[in-house]
Amino acid sequence: MRYQIHFEQELPAEVLRRLLHEDYGISPDTIHVGRIEARAVEGAAADGNVRVVHALEPITGEPDLAVVPPPEWARDW
């Protein structure tokens, strides 16, 4: 099963892992702390299901990869 837990304030990852392990017996190595989108991409990349078609800035060793600026809404992030 997968669960998403959102907090209203920052909580150090190691504290979260320790609490979930102590209170619920959840193994710390099964707990992902971070953006969900990043986890999905990492998993797909590990499976070989991701192909980069453009980048936000040039990548060394990939001279043919198109460089595309971020959309207007994302430029301030």
Q: Tell me what pLDDT residue 67 has.
A: 84
Distance from C-alpha of 33 to C-alpha of 26, rounded to nearest angstrom: 14
- At 50, list the tokens: 């991701």
CA dist 15 to 30, 41, 50, Å?
A: 14, 25, 32
- 43 compared with 25, residue with greater pLDDT: 25
% of the chain with per-residue pLDDT over 90 = 6
Local confidence band at 58 (pLDDT 50, 70, 90 cut-offs): confident
| 20 closest CA partner among 11, 38, 9, 36 | 11
Is the CA virtual torsion 19, 23, 26, 27 positive or negative? positive
Distance from C-alpha of 44 to C-alpha of 19, rounded to nearest angstrom: 29
On the question of pLDDT at 39 being above 60, the answer is no
pTM of the model: 0.42
